[in-house]
Chains A and B, each alone.
Chain A
Amino acid sequence: MSTAAAPARRAPVAADDPRLKDTWFVRQLAALAVGLVVLALLPFVLSDRAETVAVRTLIFAVMAVGWNLMSGYGGMFSFGHAAFFGIGAYMDAFLLTEHGVSPWISMVLGALLAAAVGVLIAYLCLRYRLAGSYFALATFAFAQMFLLLVQNLEVFHKTEGFNVPILPSDSWAKLQFQQGSPFYFWIPLALLALGVLTTILFARSRSGQFVQAVRDDETAATSLGIPAMRYRLLAVALSCAFTAAAGAYYTQYYLFVGPEQAFGSSVSIEAIVPAVIGGIGTVWGPVIGAAVIGPLSELASSTLRNPPGFLEFLEGTAGLDVALYATILIAIVLFLPKGVFGSVRDRWRR
């Protein structure tokens, strides 16, 4: 009687078996490289005004890529990603204005703190069987709580927020350049590229595969030996870290951050909508979605400043951009749940 653990295989599979061919990884990296090169050229062709829209788009993209790691690949939907964005934003603002710490360091510290907070929240919630709704509720609650906290504590300047002092000349250490400098575009681009690369590597990795298995069916995954909590928390940590980094950059670019800009619920939705539009749980979905939302937000702002005749009543009001995001969110969830990229990819596969 055989004491071997494995059932004997009738026919071993050859290393060059065509079914093992998998070009996904290489294709993604190639797309990333090409995209990076193309986008890097943008500052040379865009006007200053268009560049601000582009930077805003990049920030949205990093937020959405971050959100997608936890919510799309991990299946743990965060409804309060502003909590993590804000941690990065305020960490940067506080350390810079109060202690002169370089924004680069704040970015890392903010990422670490956000990851720790996220992991804690996730751990507390995932113990409870109603994981999905409870986690959504808890993340939403924490974002609101942080908003309240900074609005009420003197150390965070309450409702006034932080103003980043403008420096006389360019400084890499303090991450400040002349207005319209291409570096303001390339830095978030690099951050986005890092985020997308992380997504690609993670999705393919053992950890990422396990996380997706847990997302698809936790019971089956654990029955196959996967410790669910450990891998989920990993996805959460990565997700929060990137979103916080986006927050830190936000402060440096806009030179001002207040409670609403950092922790407001519109921030949470800005992290969600691009991923939903593009396709939750895909590598490129959040990026494509951000490319839609960024210009849209610009369009909304300019419409409110100079509305066309039939929309005159909107002049001077606020909130059109968020209202538009919200409508798009609802529409996509109802009619195109896989998102634009997700649906196209599915059709192409068949």
Chain B
Amino acid sequence: MSLLQVQGVSKAFAGLRAVDDVSIELPEHEFLGIIGPNGAGKTTLFSLLSGEQSPTSGQVVFDGQDITGWPAHKVAHTGLVRTFQLMRPFGSMTVLENVTIAALQRHRSRPAARRHALEVLDRVQLGDQYATESGSLSTAGLKRLELARALALEPRVILLDEVLAGLVPAERAPMIELLREVHADGLTVMFVEHIMAAVMALSERLVVMHEGAVLMDGPPREVVEDPRVVEAYLGEEPA
């Protein structure tokens, strides 16, 4: 049985179907990429999985448990964690304090949580910026901070929403490498991404979304060469 099962999930807003009957199986330890043109419903799908929004129909089953419609904080506790496309640091706090907030979910004692947070920060190479005000980090730093916070929750599945967006090409390779390491350590990943180089480098399987629905689901090479996908997704970044 897959770790995460998305079954016929839809989200409609007054007649417009932002997500249309989407079904995806995510086996444990897979690295699944989701691509599609803007407005295809990818971020909305993530919101439906992580609990920011509730589907108007369909089910989300995580580790055998039906979590459809659960509020975000409850979902996070099950081990399904997401990051955000628009970075959301806790602006009044330092980098370490930001990650400690997440670590406090798993470690009740403050010293233990801080230690764990620092370990995660070292992991994503932000360790030396532990005392920086989170608001003054660079984009690359903020992206790593998002990732660090999510990792500090000790998740089983992580949903990454355009984690490479806003990074200049030179910053992308280290991030891709970091994601590869994190995956190798045992994490299951579903990520939305536009940078095709990253998508092809990391994905073990690819899902294409278009106008809210799944257009195709399969091995990356096959998917990107499929004529329907090429037609729907014109204007992609060169690999």
Q: Does A touch B (CB under 8 Å) in the complex?
A: yes
| A residues in contact (CB < 8 Å) with B | 1-13, 15, 17, 19-20, 22, 204, 206, 209-210, 212-213, 215-217, 219-228, 281
Given contacts A8-B185, A9-B123, A17-B118, contact A220 B155 (CB under 8 A): no
B41 to A: closest C-beta gap in Å: 19
Per-position contact with A for B141-182: 1 when CB-CB < 8 Å, else 0?
A: 000000001110111100000000000000000000000001
Contact with A along B40-53 (1 / 0, CB 8 A): 00000000001110
Least CB distance from A313 to B in Å reads: 46
- 12 new A-B contacts at CB < 8 Å, known A3-B186, A219-B84, A226-B101: A2-B185, A8-B185, A10-B122, A12-B119, A13-B119, A19-B131, A215-B92, A216-B89, A220-B90, A221-B101, A222-B76, A225-B76
Chain B: interface residue total (CB-CB under 8 A): 52
Q: Is the CB of A209 within 8 A of B182?
A: no
Contact between A20 and B115, CB atoms less than 8 A apart: yes
How close is B129's CB to chain A, nearest CB, in angstroms?
A: 10
Q: Looking across the interface, which residue of chain A has its beta carbon closest to that of B103?
A: A224
The answer on a CB contact under 8 Å between B82 and A223 is: yes
Task: Closest B residue to A4 by CB, please name it.
Answer: B186
B88 lies within 8 A of chain A by Cβ = yes
Contact B118 A1 (CB under 8 A): no
Q: Which residues of A contact B153 (CB under 8 A)?
A: 224-225
**Which residue of A is nearest B82, CB measured?**
A223
Question: In the assembled complex, which residues on chain B have CB atoms less than 8 Å from the CB atom of A212?
Answer: 90, 92-93
Q: Given A212-B92, A212-B93, A216-B92, is A7 in contact with B185 using a C-beta cutoff of 8 Å?
A: yes
- B119–A224 touching, CB < 8 Å: no
Q: Could you give, for residues 85-110 of chain B, a 1 whenever the CB lies within 8 Å of some chain A CB and a 0 otherwise?
A: 00011111100110011101100101
State in angstroms the CA–CA spacing of A222 and B29 once bound together: 25
* Interfacial chain A residues near B228, Cβ < 8 Å: none
B93 touches A220 (CB 8 A): no
| Whole-angstrom CA separation of A204 from B109 in the bound complex | 12
Interface flag for B221 (CB, 8 Å): no
Q: Is B72 an interface residue (CB 8 A)?
A: yes
Please give me the residue from chain B that is nearest to A346 by CB atom: B133
Decide: B123 and A7 in contact? CB cutoff 8 A.
yes
Residues of B within 8 A of A228 (CB): 73
* A223-B155 in contact (CB<8A): no
Q: Is B219 an interface residue (CB 8 A)?
A: no
Q: Verify if B111 is at the interface (C-beta below 8 Å from A).
A: yes
Binding site for A on B (CB under 8 A): 28-29, 50-52, 71-74, 76-77, 79, 81-82, 84, 88-93, 96-97, 100-102, 104-105, 108, 110-111, 114-115, 118-120, 122-123, 127, 130-131, 149-151, 153-156, 182, 185-187
| Structural contact, A206 and B185, CB atoms closer than 8 A | no
Pair A8/B104 contact, Cβ less than 8 Å: no
User: Cβ of A13 and Cβ of B122 under 8 Å apart?
Assistant: yes
A2, B185: Cα distance in complex, Å: 8
Q: Which residue from A3, A6, A12 sits with its C-beta under 8 Å from B154?
A: A6
Identify which of B101, B110, B127, B182 contacts A224 (C-beta below 8 A): B101
Contacts of B187 in A (CB 8 A): 7
Q: Is A216 in contact with B130, judged by CB distance below 8 angstroms?
A: no
The complex places the Cα of A20 from the Cα of B113 at a distance, in Å, of: 11
Q: Are B151 and A7 closer than 8 Å at their CB atoms?
A: yes
Establish whether residues A5 and B156, one from each chain, have CB atoms under 8 Å apart when the complex forms. Answer: yes
Could you tell me if B115 and A213 are in contact, using CB atoms closer than 8 angstroms?
Answer: no
What's the minimum C-beta distance from A18 to chain B, rounded to whole angstroms? 10
**B115 nearest CB neighbor, chain A only:** A13
CB closest chain-A residue, reference B106: A6
In Å, the complex CA distance between A167 and B52 comes to: 60
Which residues from B are CB-within-8-Å of A2?
185-186
| From A5, A222, A224, contact of B102 by CB (8 A) | A224
CB <8 Å contact, A223 and B29: no
CA distance A342 to B102 in the complex (A): 26
- Say yes or no: B130 contacts A19, CB within 8 Å: yes
Chain A residues, CB < 8 A from B149: 220, 224
In the bound complex, residues from chain B placing their C-beta under 8 Å from that of A209 are 97, 100-101, 104
- How far is it, in angstroms, between the C-alpha of A220 and the C-alpha of B84 when the chains are bound? 8
| A7, B82: Cα distance in complex, Å | 16
Question: How far is B122's CA from A17's CA once the two chains are assembled, in angstroms?
Answer: 12
CB closest chain-B residue, reference A226: B73
Listed from nearest, the 7 A-B pairs whose CB atoms lie closest are: A225-B76, A7-B185, A220-B88, A2-B186, A216-B90, A222-B72, A6-B154
Minimum C-beta distance from A347 to chain B (A): 13
